[in-house]
Amino acid sequence: MKPYHAIAIQDCGEPLQAIPLDQFARVDPHPYQTLGAPYGEQSPYYLRLSVLEALGEAQRYLQSRRLGWRIQIFDAYRPIAVQRFMVEFTFQDLLRARGLRADQLTAAQQTELMAEVNQFWALPSNNPATPPPHSTGAALDVTLVDEQGHSIDMGSPIDEVSERSFPNHFAQCQDARGQSFHRHRKLLNEVMEVAGFRRHPQEWWHFSLGDQLWAWILQEQEDKGPMVARYGRVESE
């Protein structure tokens, strides 16, 4: 369990809504569909209605700060089966990167590698009390593009399993390049927070609004008092 799974859920029943992809930039083709993730008839381009409205508000604020810039959607709604697929893919990818084989790992090595994966990936729980954030329709992974559609360099790619993914990794950098990465991450966080989103503590790209992670951040880090999540796991329509 993640710490935020202690937050209670009282799902408001708000429906999923298709993201109007003509209004936002997106990573195309979708990265997990390209890997063969089992979406079936479901689509990653859905959010709860109020979350989608907040995303539009965030983009309008961004464009008041940077004319022509847009929010780029990397991923949004994620069925449990896709979460399971991506956790396993990430584990296997770490093995390949380190020249290891699953059948030769010690128990300690397996635990250590899975702990690295779990820093960035929620377990694909079927328990309705502990849903992965993306399965609620209230979480999404985003970055920014400029007026020409070029991706803004954030210093590390989305989903990288390393400390570079931590939001403030470049905060103390003295060189101009590192300072630029940090400014871009701060801008992304600012435009999303203005609309009510909260950023994952270990992922510069992940933002939630209304799920357990969002409620936990408000309760534990912003001292907003006892919080309840308003979105639980939902099946795509």
Query: What whole-number distance in Å separates Cα of residue 151 and Cα of residue 100?
Result: 33
Contact 158, 196 (CB under 8 A): no
Beta strands in 37-84 (DSSP E): 46-48, 70-75
Structure tokens at 149: 């559609």
**Tokens 């390949």 label which residue?**
96
Among candidate residues 14, 163, 203, 220, the one labeled active-site is 203
CA distances from 11 to 7, 95, 143, 186, 221 (A): 12, 38, 28, 31, 23
**Kind of pairing between the strands at 198-199 and 206-208:** antiparallel
Q: Is 193 a catalytic residue?
A: no
First-residue to last-residue Cα distance in the chain: 28
Contact 48, 138 (CB under 8 A): yes
**Kind of pairing between the strands at 70-75 and 25-26:** parallel
Catalytic residues, by residue number, are: 203
